[in-house]
Structure 1
Amino acid sequence: MPKQKKWIIASEPEQKMIHELSQSININPVLSKILLSRGISNFEEAKTFFRPSIEDCHDPFLMKDMPIAVERLIKALDNHESILVYGDYDVDGSTSVAMMYSFLKSYCKNLYYYIPDRYVEGYGISYKGIDYAKEKNCSLIISLDCGIKAIDKVDYANSENIDFIICDHHNPSEKLPQAVAVLDPKRKDCPYPFKELSGCGVGFKLIQAFCIQKEIPEHHAFELLDLVAISIAADIVAVTGENRILAFYGLEKINFNPRPGIKALIQASGLKEKITISNLVFQLGPRINAAGRIDHAHLAVRLLTAIHEDEALIIAENVSHKNTTRKDFDQNITSEALSTIEENTSMLSAKSTVLFNKNWHKGVIGIVASRCIEHHYRPTIIMTESNGKATGSARSVDGFDLYSAIESCKEYLEQFGGHKHAAGLTLAIDQIPSFAAAFEAVVQKNITEDQLIPKVKIDSYIEIDQITDKFYSILSQMDPFGPGNMQPVFAAKNLSVLGEPLILKEKHLKLTVKDRSGKNKITAIGFGMAEYKALIMNSNAFELAFTIQENHFNGLKSLQLYLKDIRID
């Protein structure tokens, strides 16, 4: 029997408001309801939402320390100093480094970049990276997507007469590093109006501020928004406010004028239609990430900064090959992790999952944590051995503050960082049992039973005859989707199956459903939902929760339901 999910149906706006918005912008009442639930209630707000303007981006100089950062960067360039661009090894870090390096190379002859080795140095600023800057006679390091907690490392750099400009978006500690400038909208003393920029987004604001200060046409900065869009998608930051604007224009560049590396990546991914945020999350992002997971993220930066298409294609194929290797590791380790949970009675009854295996590949433990949550819905930490320590990736369930829970157990940890939904940590191997027990106790105390039930958030019920090409055309203009503006999920009731559903690759379900009248039908696909076949075959009526997407097959386009859940009426 498939695990039951809880359906959360969005509250219904007043009918008068739905009617007025539908009339003013000439759209279906179902779409008006969705817009109203996202704070859009009139023509002007709808215009801003559907037609984002780059002019609505915030002044970068509103960010704390921005004038100081720009002044220090200009000084470095004027004095022909050597500069090191330093970033993390994930997608946000790799795109950040590629963006900053691509921009500064026109202004700096002695420019280098550095990404730490995931397996040797671990996350964030490393002493080895600072020593590399020293070796190259760099007097300035610009860190991207990391550095906000690197107090000791920045002190070390200062002792070597190397300045730091930190561009980060993670939560800071009470004490900040003694850098020349610390750019992070999440600083308590930072008045910047939008707090949810990606690490790449913070770096972009530095570039934008530099262009303003030097009176360089801002389109030089906007040319980099393709990389910012990928970072926004892959780092799962809110796609609202300024991020929505940056992602919108970044996607426009990806679709109409992609840089050679992104063009090659699209080709290697086999994507032929318009690129969406979803493609960045599920096709391009994992390939970029695979470089740092399986080998070294330098490869991703080489790809994203490639000038010639031939070179980019070769690197893209290499990166795709590493992604295939990553998938193999992911599947095998997930299988081992699930077996460990299911063979241990005490783990099955726990409110959290903490697993350690010294042989698991460090590059995929975050993915494995997410996979485990799909089967056992609770906060999960997957750990492996690296440099004689236990290193782990943690993922949370909806509504539970993972970072706070880990912080409550910090006495067992040597290092940790992250946010409410995801985190990383390092500890001594002999501390694992104590940490696991403490973490379970914190979760037991703070998590609610409701938070342990997977949920499907549904925007609106809909009749399947309302799902038309015009409806989908307007719906697709709500893209870019992401946290804060998720792709709308619909539900339809009183449905039955037409013919016998198909099982694809032994795990996916494909079926055609019809409404009560029998006149309207549509195809649906449920990935990993093969176990539902018997249930719906033996049912007179059922409800579906789904998103709507365009299916492309043999040159033909059709609308199709992508299933989230099935519920028997």
Structure 2
Amino acid sequence: MSLEQYEWILKQQEITPDILELSRQLDFIPSYSALLYNRGITSFELARKFFKPTPEDLYNPFQLADMDKAVDHLSEVIRMGKKIMFYGDYDVDGTTSVALMSRFFRTFYPNFTTYIPDRYTEGYGLTSVGIAKAAAEKVHTIVALDCGIKSLALASEIGRLGMHLIVVDHHTPGAVLPEAVAVVDPKRPDCHYPFKELSACGLAYKLALTLAHRLELDPEYVHSMLDLVALSIGADMVPLVDENRTLMKLGLQVLNQHPSPGLQALITSAGIKTPVTSHHIGFLLGPRINAAGRIEHANLALSLLTTDQPCQANQIAQEIEKLNTERKTTQDLIASEAIHMVKHNPSRYRYAIVLQGHDWLKGVIGIVAARLVEEFHRPAIVFTRSGDFLVGSARSILTINIYDALNFCSHIIHQFGGHSHAAGVTLLPDNFELFFHSISEVIKRQATPETFKKKLFAEAEIKLADIDDKLIRLSTTHLQPTGIGNPTPHYISRNLKVLNNSRLIGSDQSHIKLYLHEPETNTYIQAVWFSKGHHFPHIINAGTVDAIYTLDFNTFNGHSAKQLKLLDLKINP
């Protein structure tokens, strides 16, 4: 067994005739073409879209059900001069959606307002407080972004107050759609859009494009806001395949060449000095945007994403930096407490981890749930008290659809919504134990002996001598953006000798720097394993090791060296 208790799974390595044909078309060696083929890139044209997409490669927005109704209605509202409210969720996807619509509309139609609910006093999505504010401001039409698909009662309330509703959402609908002028959601059963996994900001971009076409506005301005779409895709962890990858690739070009003042300030405050990648969005930029809504109010993030003033952007970015530091401290404390609770009673959490803390900060329980999934490889739902209810955030492993599991327990739940691997749920406190046992039983019925095994998938088993600069660039730069559905390639090499100059590194000696030798090819390479210093005594005394890793360049003082970034090791006798 490996040091990290993973099962290593090697993908099919056979070079088929189809892969050889792709190699001929692309002038690639077969092993490189196999990397693409494993990702569904089976032709020259698909490779062209993968490496060099253009806006023309995107699907027609009018293929989305009700998009025509949304555009017709908004065009008429604009003609009449009536007020519009862009109403979004408080996470990255919601705030970027509202920011995109705000930046688009302010260039030609100023009669609009924005609203993002307070996480702590209102909760997620459409709320009575927000709707009352819209009515008081004489709003004609509310455009719900990244929310609304399951807000049936509140949608009816909007109608009773004489207002109109357009829903632009990407969450899974319930059995009944809300009463609205238009419901734009690719997950609608009757929607025949060819790609179902767009972010909400991706849908907002589509809506802006269709309006620009209808109103004869320059679509290039809409394309210039693809940096917001890239941010939403990377932070909301939607699959980086098909249209999402195209949008992310185009958005990263904007983000690296002409970012908005707010995002430029955020890049600077996050200390990013290299070109921004999907990794930076997921681990540095996205969490900072989220920190505003987690600790205070997401309006601060919205201000950052919509300002045109670099000086103001820098000030807001510094405020967000402080909130992000506070967020990290708080989440680490709660995560430590939650991990201790699970380790104290592991048999209770054999199938699902369901915890509650009376005073846990609502803004970080989603991150804590993700940490529990990472630590124990089980679906995790973390609750905290909010008024008369328990409010929870759920995260799951790839093999368990948490939305479906919650649906089976809907008779116990006050409300829920989300995706297959992330969801929100609200309970009455008295139902906590019943819910825990019910969701555990549902997951137990879904589970097989393989469900809870930790797995790492490798593209190929290679010799260290096979690693050249071209393979590293292909595995890192050229496959970008990487993420769910388009992972960074993992490789396996076996029977490597650990040299004596290997050592612990870092200020707290928590990381490992290894110098490895492959006797069969007489090849040497360095490797780094972050936060795994506790394994070092086992490694340094090993006969040989097998390694699973990603590839990278280690650049220092202008000199670059090949480097393995270790994911796991197996000790050989």
Q: How does 1:417-436 map to 2 (within 5 A)?
A: 417-436=417-436
Say yes or no: does 1:468 pair with 2:471: no
Where does structure 1 lack aligned partners over 5 or more consecutive residues? none
Which whole-Å CA distance do the structure 2 matches of 1:210 and 1:96 have between them? 15
Equivalent position of 1:452 in the other structure: 452
Moved more, 223-232 or 47-56: 47-56
Say yes or no: does 1:124 pair with 2:125: yes
Deviations 1:539-558 (A, max 9, x none): 22211111223334344444
Equivalent position of 2:543 in the other structure: 540
Residues 1:530 and 1:345: Cα distance change in structure 2 (over 3 Å):
same
Equivalent position of 2:413 in the other structure: 413
Q: Given that residues 396 and 422 in structure 1 are in contact (C-alpha distance below 8 angstroms), is that contact kept between their aligned partners in structure 2?
A: yes
Moved more, 13-22 or 311-320: 13-22
Q: How does 1:353-368 map to 2 (within 5 A)?
A: 353-368=353-368
Q: How does 1:299-448 map to 2 (within 5 A)?
A: 299-347=300-348, 350-448=350-448
Equivalent position of 1:565 in the other structure: 568
Which whole-Å CA distance do the structure 1 matches of 2:513 and 2:270 have between them? 24
Aligned to 2:553, the other structure's residue is in SS state strand
Which whole-Å CA distance do the structure 1 matches of 2:76 and 2:403 have between them? 38
Q: How does 1:204-243 map to 2 (within 5 A)?
A: 204-243=205-244
Which whole-Å CA distance do the structure 2 matches of 1:450 and 1:441 have between them? 17
Which whole-Å CA distance do the structure 2 matches of 1:320 and 1:514 have between them? 42
Q: What TM-score results when the alignment is normalised by the length of structure 1?
A: 0.97
Deviation at 1:503, TM superposition (A): 4.1
Q: Given that residues 28 and 471 in structure 1 are in contact (C-alpha distance below 8 angstroms), is that contact kept between their aligned partners in structure 2?
A: no
Equivalent position of 1:485 in the other structure: 486
Moved more, 543-552 or 63-72: 543-552
Aligned to 2:332, the other structure's residue is in SS state helix
Deviations 1:470-508 (A, max 9, x none): 222333212111222111111111212222231433432
Which whole-Å CA distance do the structure 1 matches of 2:96 and 2:531 have between them? 32
What amino acid maps onto 1:511 in structure 2?
L
Deviations 1:4-61 (A, max 9, x none): 1111211124354444433432334332211111222343332222111211111111
Say yes or no: does 1:261 pair with 2:262: yes
What amino acid maps onto 1:265 in structure 2?
L
Equivalent position of 1:146 in the other structure: 147
- Identity across the alignment (%): 40
Which whole-Å CA distance do the structure 2 matches of 1:342 and 1:71 have between them? 56
Moved more, 129-138 or 521-530: 521-530
Which whole-Å CA distance do the structure 1 matches of 2:197 and 2:314 have between them? 33
Q: What TM-score results when the alignment is normalised by the length of structure 2?
A: 0.96
Q: Given that residues 6 and 456 in structure 1 are in contact (C-alpha distance below 8 angstroms), is that contact kept between their aligned partners in structure 2?
A: yes
Residues 1:284 and 1:557: Cα distance change in structure 2 (over 3 Å):
farther
Q: Given that residues 459 and 489 in structure 2 are in contact (C-alpha distance below 8 angstroms), is that contact kept between their aligned partners in structure 1?
A: yes
Which whole-Å CA distance do the structure 1 matches of 2:515 and 2:168 have between them? 50
Q: Given that residues 84 and 140 in structure 1 are in contact (C-alpha distance below 8 angstroms), is that contact kept between their aligned partners in structure 2?
A: yes
Which whole-Å CA distance do the structure 2 matches of 1:163 and 1:470 have between them? 55
Equivalent position of 2:504 in the other structure: 502
Which whole-Å CA distance do the structure 2 matches of 1:43 and 1:387 have between them? 57
Equivalent position of 1:202 in the other structure: 203
Which whole-Å CA distance do the structure 1 matches of 2:364 and 2:530 have between them? 21
Deviation at 1:437, TM superposition (A): 1.2
Aligned to 2:140, the other structure's residue is in SS state strand
Q: Given that residues 119 and 387 in structure 1 are in contact (C-alpha distance below 8 angstroms), is that contact kept between their aligned partners in structure 2?
A: no
Aligned to 1:411, the other structure's residue is in SS state coil
Q: Given that residues 465 and 521 in structure 2 are in contact (C-alpha distance below 8 angstroms), is that contact kept between their aligned partners in structure 1?
A: no
What amino acid maps onto 2:515 in structure 1?
T
Q: Given that residues 145 and 169 in structure 2 are in contact (C-alpha distance below 8 angstroms), is that contact kept between their aligned partners in structure 1?
A: yes
Deviations 1:363-403 (A, max 9, x none): 11111111112221111111111123111111111211111
Which whole-Å CA distance do the structure 1 matches of 2:226 and 2:298 have between them? 20
Equivalent position of 1:106 in the other structure: 107
Where does structure 2 lack aligned partners over 5 or more consecutive residues? none
Count of aligned pairs: 568
What amino acid maps onto 2:211 in structure 1?
F
Which whole-Å CA distance do the structure 2 matches of 1:211 and 1:180 have between them? 20
Which whole-Å CA distance do the structure 2 matches of 1:76 and 1:558 have between them? 59
Moved more, 506-515 or 207-216: 506-515
Moved more, 39-48 or 352-361: 39-48
Aligned to 1:164, the other structure's residue is in SS state strand
Moved more, 2-11 or 117-126: 2-11
What amino acid maps onto 1:500 in structure 2?
S
Q: Given that residues 369 and 395 in structure 1 are in contact (C-alpha distance below 8 angstroms), is that contact kept between their aligned partners in structure 2?
A: yes
Deviation at 1:153, TM superposition (A): 0.6
Aligned to 2:528, the other structure's residue is in SS state strand
Aligned to 2:502, the other structure's residue is in SS state strand
Deviation at 1:449, TM superposition (A): 2.1
Equivalent position of 1:193 in the other structure: 194
Deviation at 1:62, TM superposition (A): 1.0
Moved more, 351-360 or 48-57: 48-57
Which whole-Å CA distance do the structure 2 matches of 1:40 and 1:56 have between them? 15
Equivalent position of 1:68 in the other structure: 69
Residues 1:346 and 1:45: Cα distance change in structure 2 (over 3 Å):
closer
Which whole-Å CA distance do the structure 2 matches of 1:272 and 1:558 have between them? 19
Which whole-Å CA distance do the structure 1 matches of 2:356 and 2:306 have between them? 37
Aligned to 1:412, the other structure's residue is in SS state coil
Residues 1:67 and 1:41: Cα distance change in structure 2 (over 3 Å):
closer
Deviations 1:310-351 (A, max 9, x none): 100110111111111111011111110111111225335x22
Equivalent position of 2:54 in the other structure: 53
Which whole-Å CA distance do the structure 2 matches of 1:344 and 1:535 have between them? 28
Deviations 1:126-166 (A, max 9, x none): 01111111121111111111110111111101111111111
Moved more, 424-433 or 44-53: 44-53
Which whole-Å CA distance do the structure 1 matches of 2:53 and 2:283 have between them? 24
Which whole-Å CA distance do the structure 2 matches of 1:555 and 1:123 have between them? 48
Equivalent position of 2:39 in the other structure: 38
Moved more, 297-306 or 100-109: 100-109
Moved more, 375-384 or 85-94: 375-384
Deviation at 1:517, TM superposition (A): 4.2
Q: Given that residues 84 and 141 in structure 1 are in contact (C-alpha distance below 8 angstroms), is that contact kept between their aligned partners in structure 2?
A: yes
Q: Tell me how large the CA RMSD over aligned residues is.
A: 1.6
Aligned to 1:450, the other structure's residue is in SS state coil
Q: Given that residues 13 and 37 in structure 1 are in contact (C-alpha distance below 8 angstroms), is that contact kept between their aligned partners in structure 2?
A: no
Q: Given that residues 504 and 510 in structure 2 are in contact (C-alpha distance below 8 angstroms), is that contact kept between their aligned partners in structure 1?
A: no
Which whole-Å CA distance do the structure 2 matches of 1:165 and 1:411 have between them? 29
Deviation at 1:259, TM superposition (A): 0.5
What amino acid maps onto 2:315 in structure 1?
I
Which whole-Å CA distance do the structure 1 matches of 2:25 and 2:177 have between them? 49
Say yes or no: does 1:251 pair with 2:242: no
Q: How does 1:511-522 map to 2 (within 5 A)?
A: 511-517=514-520, 519-522=522-525
Deviation at 1:74, TM superposition (A): 1.0
Residues 1:495 and 1:174: Cα distance change in structure 2 (over 3 Å):
same
